[in-house]
Amino acid sequence: MNFFKTFLASCLGSLLAFLVLCGLGFFLLIGMVASFSDSKDQVIVKNQSVLHLKLNGPITENEVEDTFEDLPIPGAVSTTGLLPLKRAITNAKDDPKIEGIYLDINTLMAGYGVARELRQALVDFKESGKWIIAYSEYYTESAYYVASAADKVYLNPEGELEFNGLSVEVSFFKKLFDKLDIKPQIFRVGDFKSAVEPFMLDRMSEENKLQLNEMITDIHGTLLEDVAASRSIEATRLREIADKMLVVNTKTAAEYGLVDSLIYFDQVQAELRARLGLAENTKINLVKYGKYKRSFSTSSTSKNEIAVIVADGDILSGRAQEGVIGSDTFAEELRKARTNDRVKAIVVRINSPGGSALASDVMWREIKLATEVKPVIASMSDYAASGGYYLAMACDTIVAQPTTITGSIGVFSVLFDMSSFLDNKIGITFEEVKTGEIGELITVTRPLNAVEKNIWQKKTEEIYEGFTSKAAEGRAMPVAELRKIASGRVWTGAQAKERGLVDILGNFEEAVTIAAKAADLGEDYKLRYYPVQKTFLEEWLGGLEENAETRMLKKELGTNYDTYQYLKKLKNYQGSQARMPYELVIE
């Protein structure tokens, strides 16, 4: 009995100690939040300040508020939101306390749609007469594209500059599946629906080579025209420099006029002081973007609202989460905007390669309903392809960047027969009992029979029929004409406009202007962004459990963890998909 008393007392004491520690940690955390929140509520910008834009992290459409940006929080990865970043640049343009921008960029973690929007914001900033200085130890192709908008582009003497054109590399997994005894069962419509090629081939089809080559050539042409205008170099000359890779070191980068000077950081600081009229060794008032965005407010007293509904990520059914456009969440936000009398127009901001065909159609329906009562404008970012285009085609007007990747109007269905993998590699077998001739249509434990395969092919064709019919209706063209430019083919924004899939080539602000004009608002409106973003603390705390699970899995699986991650991702491809080809990264 004494043993149990002692044991229980010990447990109780440990529990109390644990609770005390948790409580102390909790109050410390709350105190830190309060402290940092209070300190960041008001940011006072001094006279003769320079806006410091360090853009080497991920750039998404919106951003998570980083409460602890100055603290080394484990596992914390903050992002920069393109839309709030552009608002900051626009505000700095007319801010008398901001003299110029110091652009600190070497690797741009975004596509060329985002890159062009950002670059246009910088070009617009210079129209105020203010200056931009760009400096880096090295520039990737996309980073240099953005930096070339600056008045002066500087490079470290021992650095690097990439300027040799664009390329796309596609990974193929057929041989991996062969080794693992995994058999993809594929159903598709369209010669160019190449999203499934990595599962069934070990190299590109000729159709895919054609579309990718034409796409990156068109995008590269736009980039060269933009750089040519800023650097006062003929676009044909820039193409020759890129095609022949004449820039092989920093010296040649300067010789061919891509950079203004090869200098070190202390020399950049000296120039900034000279531009500001400061004495040597005087501190430069560099204001980081994270602080500057808290120095001004974009709130408006207008009673008219333009709702900006951001669709950023893969399209899946259910609730939205980071990197995923959940159809339930998106439809709910559309419904609210449609029925809210304060909302006079809607801008759907799309950055998506597509995903679930069903989820895309659910969201299409809500956009269609909204267009019946108020203007709805689509603004395309890096991607608005396949399921992403499905959202845009219901809108009244579609605005895209020339470098946007869009189209991919096609459907595929894929199921992975993992029965041999489960049997031969793991030792698990299955047996099915059914009441009719047809068994489970979505299964990985056995191959589909001929009848079931026929059902899947017909289902895929029916979805394609619906997709193309609705696209033709939205674009006011005959279905037969629409299907000539569909078949799953991917287009740039410029190519899409030539073919009637896009109305206007422009940026987000132009989409907003069109929405305001369509609603007869003039300048009397304010923008509200949906879904409302989670705070950094919410995102961080929400990821603690996931990070712990990841560590456990890595420990258990060891070198097999990467294979597990890939197989886990394949579940998003199960069933019918309106998705663009693979994960397209242009470098």
Residue recorded with tokens 């320079």? 50
Query: In degrees, to the nearest 5, what angle opens at C-alpha 41 toward C-alphas 39 and 42?
Result: 90
Q: Which of 477, 452, 586, 578 minimizes the C-alpha distance to 190?
A: 578
The DSSP code for 527 is: E
Write down the catalytic residue from 93, 130, 193, 293: 193
* Dihedral, 508, 511, 515, 520 alpha carbons, nearest 10: 100
Query: Helix, strand or coil for residue 389?
Result: helix
At residue 316, what are phi and psi to the nearest 5 degrees? -140, 160
How far, in Å, CA of 513 to CA of 536, rounded? 31
Using DSSP bridges, classify how beta strands 131-139 and 98-104 pair: parallel, antiparallel or unpaired: parallel
Q: Which of 186, 185, 166 minimizes the C-alpha distance to 584?
A: 166
Enumerate residues 6+ apart whose C-beta is below 8 A from 44.
Answer: 295
CA 146 to chain centre: 17
Write down the catalytic residue from 386, 413, 419, 487: 386
What's the token pair of residue 376? 């709805």
DSSP secondary structure, 133-196, as one string:
EEEEEEE-HHHHHHHTTSSEEEEEEEEEE--S---B-----HHHHHHHT-EEEEEEESTT-GGG
What burial letters (b/e) apply to 118-131, b meaning 16+ CB within 10 Å? bbbbbebbbeeebb
Are 404 and 375 spatial neighbours (Cβ–Cβ below 8 Å)?
Answer: no
The DSSP code for 154 is: E
The DSSP code for 421 is: I
> Which uninterrupted H or E stretch holds 86?
helix 82-94
Beta-strand runs (E) in 261-410: 261-262, 285-288, 305-312, 314-316, 324-326, 343-352, 354-356, 376-385, 397-400, 405-407
> Bridge-partner residues for 527, per DSSP?
306
Based on the residue annotation, tell me whether 386 is a catalytic residue of this protein.
yes
How far, in Å, CA of 146 to CA of 110, rounded? 11
Enumerate residues 6+ apart whose C-beta is below 8 A from 11.
Answer: none
Based on the residue annotation, tell me whether 459 is a catalytic residue of this protein.
no
The contacts found for 182-186 with CB under 8 angstroms, 24 or more apart, are 182/416, 182/417, 182/418, 182/420, 182/421, 183/416, 183/417, 183/420, 183/447, 184/414, 184/415, 184/416, 184/417, 185/414, 185/415, 185/416, 185/417, 185/447, 185/448, 185/453, 185/456, 186/412, 186/413, 186/414
Query: Which of the residues are catalytic?
Result: 193, 386
